Amino acid sequence: MLQKYSDWIRNQAYELGFSFIGFAKAEQMDDEARRLEQWLNAGYHGEMGYMANHFDKRIDPRKLVEGAKTVITLLHNYYPEKTQTDPDAPKIARYAYGEDYHFVLKEKLKILIGFIQTNIGEINGRAFTDSAPILERDWARRSGTGWVGKNTLLIHPKQGSYFFLAELILDLELVYDAPMKDYCGRCRRCIDACPTEAIAENGYFMDGSKCISYLTIELRDKIPDFFKDKMENWMFGCDICQEVCPWNRFAKKHTEPAFDPHPTLLELKKDDWAEITQDVFSQLFKKSAVKRTKFMGLKRNIDFLNP
């Protein structure tokens, strides 16, 4: 029966557009807890104070869902067919081209939980996508949906790393998947390509306070002058460590219309971005994750790139 339920949930996830899915036993993560504590003690979370909150819940999903037995990890592709046309225009990370993934994936997860409860029974569970204290990449690794690469991103050998991660934590026992082997080998392209040296010399450890994504999204204060000429023209997020990753040669175009960009977004030129107004910002990013920076935050980033 456990295999039947596992196969049925897997098939339903694929029907909803998820690319990969895996199951892991819900339990306390001792090794990951020590690694998180080390990362926090080093101050690598910068101003992301929330990363230090709810430590006990972050390392044990049973504190998020009473009686939890399984953490289901789902990967949803967001790799776009096209990118920005003007090579001199300030750049936006690919994940933010379309609608905010929080809302798109949360709706899919809601449908999936509904299916489970209708067809299996009164299952207690919660859905998450970057919306709670969960070590998403660690659960993804444990569930066999990829390995955590030297750039600290989850990598799947068939399609690379351009994925959103989402989770269901259920009080339902299922057939658990085994972790996947690490295939980074001796490659260090992401380490060498990072312009701010945010990735540790041997990889697998990220100083978040140096990451361009942190500087352009999470940091509320002025971007330190130290990073002048190191931003590689990124105004929202950064894809450098994904662009150089050999595994992303297998990336495939997503099939989710909600992740398609606004019709004019990719055509805007450098001068258009320099002269962007509040009205244009609101039109372009009405449903986008870019709204997180607000207009003044994005303008700050653009001005920092072009003083």
Name the residues annotated as catalytic: 130
Q: How far apart are the C-alpha atoms of 278 and 165, rounded to whole Å?
A: 31
Neighbouring residues of 226: CB distance < 8 A, sequence distance ≥ 6: none
Find, among 113, 117, 73, 81, the residue nearest to 98 by Cα: 81
Torsion angles phi and psi, residue 55, rounded to 5:
-55, -40
Question: In what helix (H) or strand (E) does residue 77 lie, and over which residues does it extend?
Answer: strand 70-77
CA–CA dist 62, 56 (Å, integer): 10
Our CA angle for 134, 211, 36, nearest 5°, is 35
Distance from C-alpha of 133 to C-alpha of 76, rounded to nearest angstrom: 20
DSSP secondary structure of 225-269: GGGTT-STTEEE---HHHHT-GGGGG------GGGSPPTTGGG--
| Size (the chain), residues | 307
Token readout for 235 is: 């105004």
